[in-house]
């Protein structure tokens, strides 16, 4: 994303634009935060490599933060993309998905001391 495509808040921090993916908070079983983030990204990689699958999931990243229990954060444009991605993962709750506001999104990544994974296309 180019610098000029971001909006700037009163403190001078960059906020995501309307074209950027949203950050979704997904509830997971306690103690499975890291496992859920890694399983989600491994599932994305498997679907990308499998030629019989029509298309990979429309998610960009999965993050877990050590200081926040019971949640992972998934970057995607639509909630349906998140639901499709977590389908079949027994430690993720598809009924417990919330969108974060733009100001909360920046705070999550500023304080992130957990794992961040973003898949790249070939």
Q: What is the pLDDT of residues 99-112, one digit of tens each?
A: 988 778 777 766 55
Establish if 13 belongs to a structural domain.
Answer: no
Establish if 8 belongs to a structural domain.
Answer: no
Establish if 58 belongs to a structural domain.
Answer: yes
Q: What is the pLDDT, as a whole number, of residue 6?
A: 43
- Give me the chain's average pLDDT, please: 77
Do 75 and 21 touch, CB atoms closer than 8 A? yes
What's the predicted TM-score (pTM) here? 0.74
Establish if 25 belongs to a structural domain.
Answer: yes
Q: What is the pLDDT, as a whole number, of residue 56?
A: 65
Closest by CA to 114, choosing from 82, 83, 69, 77, is: 69
3-state helix vs strand vs coil in the chain, percent to 5: 30, 30, 40
Q: How many domains does the chain have?
A: 1
CATH number, domain of 40, equals 3.30.70.940
Beta bridge partners of 24: 74, 99
Q: Which residue has the higher pLDDT, 102 or 114?
A: 102
Q: What is the pLDDT, as a whole number, of residue 2?
A: 40
What is the span of the domain harbouring residue 104? 19-117
Establish if 83 belongs to a structural domain.
Answer: yes
């Amino acid at each position: 994303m180019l610098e000029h495509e971001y909006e700037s808040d009163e403190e001078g921090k960059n906020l995501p634009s309307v074209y950027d993916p949203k950050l979704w908070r997904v509830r997971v079983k306690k103690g499975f935060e890291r496992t859920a983030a890694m399983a989600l990204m491994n599932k994305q990689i498997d679907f990308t490599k499998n030629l019989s699958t029509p298309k990979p999931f429309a998610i960009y990243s999965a993050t877990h933060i050590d200081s926040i229990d019971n949640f992972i954060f998934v970057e995607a444009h639509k909630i349906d993309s998140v639901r499709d991605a977590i389908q079949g993962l027994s430690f993720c709750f598809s009924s417990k998905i919330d969108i974060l506001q733009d100001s909360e999104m920046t705070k999550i990544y500023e304080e992130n001391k957990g794992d961040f994974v973003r898949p790249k296309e070939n």
